[in-house]
Every structure is written in C-alpha cells, then in structure tokens.
Amino acid sequence: MNTLLNLMMINIFVVLVHEAGFFKTLGTVINERWKFYHLPYVFKCGLCQTFWLSIIYVIIAGPFTIPGICLCVVNASLTRVTQPLCRLVENILLKLIELLNMWLKIQ
C-alpha cells in the first residue's frame, strides 16, 4: 500500500512540474546557450517522466518484479487522468478565491 501511495505522489509531482513548464523552459535555455543541443524526449513528456521516476523508485525502494513494473506502467498511464484532475482542482480553488474576494468586497 505504501508503494502505491508513493507512486501516486510521484505521479502528482511530475504532473505539476510538467504543467508548470519547467523542462520546456530548461530546454529553451540549453538550446540558446549551446546550439543544436536539446533535452532528450524523456524530459519533455510527462508520461515518460512518470514512468522512469517510478522505475527508479521501484528499483531503489520497492519490489523490482513484474508486478512492480506493471504498477509503474499503470502509474505512468494515469498521468492522462491526473493532468485534468490537477487543472480541475486549480480551477475550483481559483473560483473559491474569486467568490471570497467578491464576498469580502460586499461586507
């Protein structure tokens, strides 16, 4: 159970960092500084990042077995669900802040 929770935290962390555009900006900086150099595709894809970080986690801390690798693949494929879910939570929180702001102006 602890492994599943840690894999989901890896998933959420990667999705948030990927959505923030960190690796896209880093790739642009590298390409500006050294022409014709760029980040590998592994760093540009949220699914790839989640898969490889999950594999590294399973190798170091968990059961490096066929079911463990299968969990890593499932965790990586869940990024398609986690990205819209993170946007939904962000939009709900922004709407809540907007409503609070309107309510405080009335009072």
The answer to whether the beta carbons of residues 43 and 18 sit under 8 Å apart is no
| pTM of this structure | 0.74
Using the predicted structure, report yes or no on whether residue 54 has a pLDDT greater than 80: yes
User: Which H, E and C letters describe 55-86, residue by residue?
Assistant: HHHHHHHCCCCHHHHHHHHHHHHCHHHHHHHH
| Rounded Cα distance, 11 and 51, in Å | 9
pLDDT in tens, 16-40: 888 887 777 777 777 777 766 666 6
